[in-house]
Amino acid sequence: MVSFNFFQSFYFIMTTISVVGYGSSIYSLQGKLMMGLIIIIIIVTIPEKATDLVTLLNSKSKFALA
């Protein structure tokens, strides 16, 4: 059985979130389905959070950052 411990899984998710990939893959069908769901969640929510952050940063004067 392919060993997939927590740190490998963590690294895999990090490379996926950062859209780097590095060619790593998961092997089971269930894992692939779950990964598809996670990617959809990432695609929807990460840009939203990034927009929130930019809006928040722009809403403050550079002299009033605290």
Partner 1 sequence: MCKFDKDPIWRMPATSSGPDYMENVYPKDIWLIDSYDKESNTTSYVLPIDNLSEHYFPSGDCSGEFHIYYYTLLIMSHTYFLTEFLLRALSAKEIKNFIGELDSMIEIFTNVPFFMLLAIFGKEDYYFQLFLAFDMMRLMLYDRYVAHIKTELTNGITSIIMYLFSLIMISSIVIQFIEN
40 binds partner 1 (CB under 8 A): no
Q: Concatenated DSSP letters for the chain?
A: -----HHHHHHHHHHHHTT--TT----SHHHHHHHHHHHHHHHHHHHHHHHHHHHHHHTS-TTS--
Total chain residues near partner 1 (CB under 8 A): 34
1 binds partner 1 (CB under 8 A): yes
Cα separation, 28 vs 6, whole angstroms: 16
Binding mask of the shown chain, residues 3 to 32, with x at each position contacting partner 1 by CB under 8 A: xxxx-xxx-xxx--x--------xxxxxx-
Tell me which residues touch partner 1 (CB under 8 A): 1-6, 8-10, 12-14, 17, 26-31, 34-35, 38, 41-42, 45-46, 49, 52-53, 56-57, 60, 65-66
